[in-house]
Every structure is written in structure tokens, then in C-alpha cells.
Chains A and B, each alone.
Chain A
Amino acid sequence: MTENSSLHIPRPSARPGDEPDFSYLALSEAGAVRYPDPCTPAKDIEHLAGDLVRVLDDDGVAQGEWAPEIEPAQLLEALRLMLLTRQLDDRMHRMQRQGKISFYMQSIGEEAISVGQGMVFKPTDMMFPSYRNQALFIQRGTDIVDLMCQCLSNTRDMCKGRQMPIMYHDRKANMFSISGNLATQYPHAVGWAMASAIKGEDHVSSAWIGDGSTAEADFHYALTFAAVYQPPVILNVVNNQWAISTFQGFAGGQRRPFAARGQGLGIPGVRVDGNDLLAVYAVTRWAVERARNCGGPTLIEHVTYRGGAHSTSDDPSRYRPKDEWSAFPLGDPVKRLKQHLIKSGHWSDEQHEALNQELKETVTAAWKEAISYGTMNDAPSLDVRSMFDDVYKEVPERLKRQRQQLLDIKGAKS
């Protein structure tokens, strides 16, 4: 029945045992792409969806018209946040392995996106993150103790024990609640920006989605609404080359870049080197300026690589070459920013090592504090009665009765 099948089955460039092969990635030279005025009509800048905006060259020198003006102190702070995120990820990954938390997702290799973009948005702008934006929380001021407490489902967990690890939110930081259901945040961000426009405010919103998740209908609803109503929203696709075991070709990435997804609707798309903090910052600033000054959405594709496993439940050596990340042509965002700062005379290997050590200790101290608020197995524990809160604004009678039933059963048992 299928011997004569002509169905196209996308195949990644390399599987376990193969040489990594990124020849499929279209790259531009650092500095090669011109910087258009942010209010340029979408139809005149269509090439930005296929080019790759890059600022840092192989030697770590900032090149071309997109090179942003950023104070070295700001870049040093960005480096610190990226390193802190990596230390946090390392720690939490190990804590999952030791059974202290049930699950974790690292963001190794993608830190420049959250940090570089976070530097552009204002506190009053609203963020709709995915589960790999931990650095954006940190950048916007969420205490890493709070992130840890969420993963521990303990008495200081902002989700009150209701969500799996990494499904954070931070109301004060305007960080929306992360959903386990992929892509749902995309239309939310568009709606939030629509309300901003309706109210005549100049706040923008932004959402993040993975390459794989762009296949979901919610992604396409969001683009349509963004194109129709032109709200001030920055839509990001984090193309880290892989979903779980399927590469970006299974989301249509073999035909056209993700940045071009909006072009049929007239939404400008920009493809950026997601491992180049300067480029990410510059492109985001461009898009925010466009949103605030001339209105309308921008779709940004960040080209990056998922440096770690999909999650602690995953073993990527089953479906991709072990050393694929080291062959990734855009390198490691931390190393690249470090190289730039050393090159420009603001940083040294020794300082880097010392900072890393200091952050490691920061994370250790934070973990100690976090577990003092309880762990999955050790007191203090959340009050089980709280399980029935927040289903509705007020606890309905039915739920009050069920809560009592549970207490009776637990009481009878102990």
C-alpha cells in the first residue's frame, strides 16, 4: 500500500552517529544586513525574514548598522544574568536528578534571547513567556529563590503547589502565567496588546514560542489577529532547531524561515542570530520602536540551538548527534558575549571565573533558603485545604463540602 508513497517525510541533517551538519542554516556575515527605519512598510523589508541579523563577528567585534549603543556596564550585567541563569539551570537539573524536584527544563544556549530582549522592555510592558524563558524572569527582577520555591511546590510557591516545576509567573514583574499547553500564550499576548491599543496606552506585549509549537493553530490565530488589528506586540519564535525528537523541518522550517510566517499577512519578520546578545537587543529595540511609534506587530525568529535535553524526562542522544551543539555555527551566547567584553577591554578570563564562582555560591545560598520554605518531602508544607482555593473567586459550597470530606478522611487516617 505504501511502496509507491510519494509523501515527503522531513529528515534532519544528522542523527546519532552522524557528523553534525548545519549546512542548511542560511547565515549572513556579521554587519552585512542594513538597518532600515523602524517604520518602513513591511513590504519593503521582506528580506529581513531571510537574512540573519548579526552584530558580533567571529572575533567578538560588533559590526555594522545594527550594532547597538549599549554601555559596557549594561553588557556586564547581561553577562552576569546569563551566567546566573546557567548556574541556576545546572543546580536545578541536579536537584531533579536527586529527586528533590519532580521535573526541570534548562535553557542552556538560549540565554541571550531572554536577557537581550528583557533589556529592551519596560516594567509596564507585558510578557507572555514559554517554559524556556527563566532568564527573562530573572532579568525582570524575579528572585531566583521564588523560581526555586515554585519548582519545590513549597510554602513560598507563587503557584501554591498547583503547577509542575518551571510553570512560573510573576504578577509584579508583568510575567504571565506559563501554561503547559503549547502556543496558548500567543493569542493572549495579541489580545493584551489589543487592549493596550483600545485603552490608548503605549505599553507593548511580547510572547515567546518554540519552533515546534508554531505548528499549533494558536500561533496562526495570533498572527491573523495581529495583522488585522495591528496591536503593539512583539512575537518571538525561538528556533532552537528541535522540538522534542523532531527537528524544525516538522514545523515547516525546511521551506521558509519562521520569520517569514507573517509575510502573507503583511507582518514584518526579522531573523536574528539568537546567540548574539547585541543583535537580539538591537532587533528587539527596532521592533519595540516600530510598535510604539508606528503601531503594529513584528515577528522575530531567533536562530539558536537547544544546548541541553528537552527536559529531565528526555534523552537527546536517542535522536540527535551528541556533539551537535559544539558544531552549531552560532556558538554559545555566553562565550560570545564574554569574548566581546574581553576584546573591548572590559572583562577578563579571571574576572569571568571569579564571577562564575560567586554566582555558584549565590545559587547555593538561594537553594538553602528555598528549601527552608519546604520541599516535596520535608516540612513546612502547604496547607492541603488550599487545594480548593482559586478554582473560583469564592470557594463554592460543593467545594467546601469536598474539602471537609478530604479533611475527615485524612483525620480518620492519622
Chain B
Amino acid sequence: MKCDEIREKMPDVAAGLIAATGDESKHLATCDACAGKLAEFRQTMALLDEWQAPEPSPYFDVRLQARLREEMAKPQAGWLQWFRRPVLATALTLLMGIGVGLFFTRGRGIYNPGPDQSIAENFGSVEPGSAVSDLQALEKNHELYADFELLDDLQVQDDVVANP
């Protein structure tokens, strides 16, 4: 066993996430440098333990519920924003065009909806799993996925600065 192999596992061992294997224990028993390093890591970990985080406050759940209700109260909020996003707006317009086209084609042809069924009823509700609902879901998650790009961003930053 080489010193390097055991050293890279030291943060996990010192944090108590994993135990040293038999081979590693043997090495630690005979290598003062590694044993000393592990002891240092353990001291640092013990020190870091002192930094405790507070429990969530009693208002946490209440406030979260309120924010969730707010969230549920604006189900169609995404609609207007679509038209501000060129790509989505184009896609939506296209879909609507196709939808209207299909409706009238089918209306005149084989499929004829009953006389009491209006256009408004047909377009009023969005079927789950339809192209429109997929677009809605896409829009809702745009924010989330846009944020994920930030993680890629992190990699650009270098750590050299703080660790000379």
C-alpha cells in the first residue's frame, strides 16, 4: 500500500463516512507520516463539528405552505411569458395553427363533432400529455434548467486563487 492511496481516502475516514480497511490500518500502524496526517484530519473534522446549523424555525412549514398555495394559485402564469420568448412563441403559434387546421379539416370530413360542441370547449382545456401540456411543462422547467448551467459555470472558475 502506497501513502498516496491511503491519503486520498483520509477525508472520508476522518469524517467517519468510511472505516479504514485492514490493509490501510496496517499501513497506518507502520507509517508515521500517514498516521500523523490522519490525526490532523481528525482534529480538523472535530473543529468543524463545532459549527452547528440551527433547526428550521417553527414558521418554516407555515411559510412554505403559503408559498406553495401562491404557486398553485397561478397555474397559467407561464402562458403570457411564452410570447416573450421567440422560439417558444413560434412553436406555440405553429402548434395552434396546426391544431386549428386539423380541427376544421376533421370537422368537415370524417369526424364531425356534435352541434353543441364549440371551438372554445375544444381549446379550453389542455389534455395532459398533449403537445401543449408538454410545452407548458417545458416552460415551467426552463427556469430550473437554465439554472443548471450555472454549475457548468463553476468549473470555469479556478481554485488556484485561494490555494497558492
- The judgment on whether A and B are partners is no
Which residue numbers of A lie inside 8 Å of B, CB to CB?
none
